[in-house]
Chains A and B, each alone.
Chain A
Amino acid sequence: MCLAIPSKIVAVDGDTAVIDVDGVRREASLMLVEDVCVGDYVIVHAGYAISRLDADAAEESLELMRQVFT
């Protein structure tokens, strides 16, 4: 299911970022988002960061997910 799990950007190399969700790290393409940098949160869909999230909204979502899925 297309869950909107916010992912934190921990490294950027050109159009590719390394993202972190609760310690799990993956690569994601940054082609579809503008002006993101290390420390920002993004919603990742199928390997592409598709939206940027502010830190408060990301924390709120993560907290919700922890309650729902644990």
Chain B
Amino acid sequence: MTETRTIKISPITRIEGHASIAIELDDAGNVADSKVHFQSIRGFEKFVEGKPAEELPRIVNRICGICPWHHHLAANKAVDRCFGVTPPPAGQKLRELIQTIAQAEDKLLHFFFLAAADFVIGPDADYAVRNVIGVAKANPDLAKKVVQMRYKAKMMIEKFAGKAIHPVAAVTGGFAKAMTEEDRKWMLEGMREIYDFARFTIDFAKKDIFPKYMDAIASLGVINTGFIGTVDSAGALNLYDGKIRLMKADGSYTDFDVQDYTDYLGEHVPSWSYGKFPYAKSWNEGFSLDLDNPKGIYRSNTLARINVADHMATPAAQAELEEFRQLFGRPAQATLLYHYARLIEEVYACEHAIEMLEDPEITDPNVRAEAEPKAGRGVGCVEAPRGTLIHDYSTDDNGLITRANMIVGTTHNLGPINMSVDQAARSLIKEGHVDEGILNKVEMAVRAYDP
């Protein structure tokens, strides 16, 4: 008689959302199939229909408590477009500044609190110590410093732009308030301190963490896919605005305007999930998660952005990217390199925030253009920490939403996460042998994506 067994990991520790993994073993105890299930946000798209468009930036920021600013800004950009309004330069810059600081804060949180436990404590350690408390005990001064830096970034946003958790400071047509010279000075000082810590972090990781895990980096959750990210007109990584670059696994790419995203990206709903799985429709090869021969699969988030960018727009981040590319090439495919890429982006985010705070135009009092509700369609897009975040709205003559579609950063990675988990499970689970260390390594393949 054939006997199958399903191993469930639910909920996944240290990743958010209500994700669970199911690994199915065949009668020999080897992996037959693995699936990762996530909660879907499709209810939100229906919920916002009929609402005044200008209210959406204050509603959608509740979708994600980790990156409310990114939803807030993607929504504002979409509404600007629906109403045909362009924010003045200082309004754009303030939006971008706050988004960049929010990115810097998120990356510190993820690296030290969600990922570092795997690296600092080690993947085979008991679950009781393999968490931030364990990290803190192993290195109490560092843990204290991380908490301080993250708090500083969070307070910077809150003090200047109001609520960090449910932001309202960006408005249709720009930003709700101008920056004073006094604000500029203390924020610049704070960002310089966070930049120093970002430099310390990447040096620490390159010296003390990554070299110990080169074997895991080369094998765990490794898959071969394309990538997506935003670049500016010169091909440099940009988190706030630009053209979308969709790269194939062989490194060739196409750039497009996000207003046309439906020509390039499709959304596949597999029979076993309620979630929508975006895929590269323009490659004309369909959708398949087959590990040996994936179809239409690309990845988002840090590693994807680092891969699609020709270069980084700031000097220290550019030096880091060059070093990274010498070691891992372009595009780099190893899934655990998301952590390394995250730290390169952290350096960039800090450098770029400092650049913006040194720009005299940031205190220009003209931060908002007048906007009138009207019928239109607008696609708003920013790079959220977890990937290319797309809000697509249509409005009627009164400016009420008639249709909304959202592609959230993590959803681009739903297919790849399933593939990485399947790859990790197949390579680690043999003849029914499963233990805590193995299951944690499977989870590590998910955590790299920071879903």
Task: List the B side residues contacting A57 at CB < 8 Å.
Answer: 163, 165-166
In the bound complex, do residue B166 and residue A3 qualify as a contact, i.e. CB atoms below 8 Å apart? Answer: no
Task: Report the bound CA distance from A1 to B410 in whole Å.
Answer: 7
| A43 contacts chain B at the CB level, 8 A cutoff | yes
A-B contact pairs, 16 of them (CB 8 A): A1-B40, A2-B17, A2-B64, A2-B66, A2-B386, A2-B410, A2-B451, A3-B17, A3-B41, A3-B63, A32-B150, A50-B66, A51-B154, A57-B165, A64-B59, A64-B62
* B101 within 8 A of partner (CB): no
**Chain A interfacial residues counted at CB < 8 A:** 25
Residue numbers in A under 8 Å from B202 (CB-CB)? none
Pairwise interchain contact B165-A4, C-beta atoms closer than 8 A: yes
Restricting to A42-70, which residues have a CB under 8 Å from any CB of B?
A: 43, 45-48, 50-51, 53, 57, 61, 64-65, 67-69
Chain B nearest Cβ from A18, distance in angstroms: 16
User: Quick one: closest A residue to B411, CB to CB?
Assistant: A1
Give the size range of B's interface with the partner.
35 or more
Residues from chain B with Cβ under 8 Å of A4 in the complex: 62-66, 68, 165
The interface residues of chain B lying within 8 Å CB-to-CB of A45 are 16, 65-66, 109
Q: Does A31 contact B (CB under 8 A)?
A: yes
Q: Which of A8-30 contact B (CB under 8 A)?
A: 15, 29
User: Which chain A positions have C-beta within 8 A of B109?
Assistant: 32, 45, 50
In chain B, residues 37-66, which have Cβ atoms closer than 8 Å to a Cβ of chain A? 38-41, 43-44, 47, 59, 62-66
B308 to chain A, nearest CB (A): 23
Q: A46-B114, A57-B166 are in contact. Are A31 and B17 (CB under 8 A)?
A: no
Q: When the two chains form their complex, are residues A48 and B132 in contact, meaning their CB atoms are under 8 A apart?
A: yes
State whether A1 and B66 are in contact (beta carbons under 8 Å apart), knowing that A31-B136, A46-B114, A47-B131 are contacts in the complex. Answer: no
Q: Which of chain A's residues has its CB closest to B385's CB? A: A2
- B277-313 contacts to A, CB under 8 A, are none
- With a cutoff of 8 Å between Cβ atoms, the chain B residues found around residue A48 in the complex are 113, 132
Contact of A5 with B by CB under 8 A? yes
A1 touches B64 (CB 8 A): yes
Name the residue on B nearest A53 (C-beta): B165
Task: Give the most central of B13, B166, B410, B411: most A CB within 10 Å.
Answer: B166
The answer to whether B44 touches A68, judged by C-beta atoms less than 8 angstroms apart, is yes
Extra contacts besides A31-B143, A46-B114 (19): CB < 8 Å = A1-B38, A1-B410, A1-B451, A2-B16, A2-B66, A2-B410, A2-B451, A3-B16, A4-B63, A32-B109, A32-B147, A32-B150, A32-B151, A46-B13, A46-B113, A51-B164, A64-B62, A68-B43, A68-B44
- B161 touches A (CB below 8 Å): no
- Contact: A5 with B65, CB < 8 Å? yes
In the assembled complex, which residues on chain B have CB atoms less than 8 Å from the CB atom of A50? 65-66, 109
Smallest Cβ distance from B109 to chain A, in angstroms?
A: 7
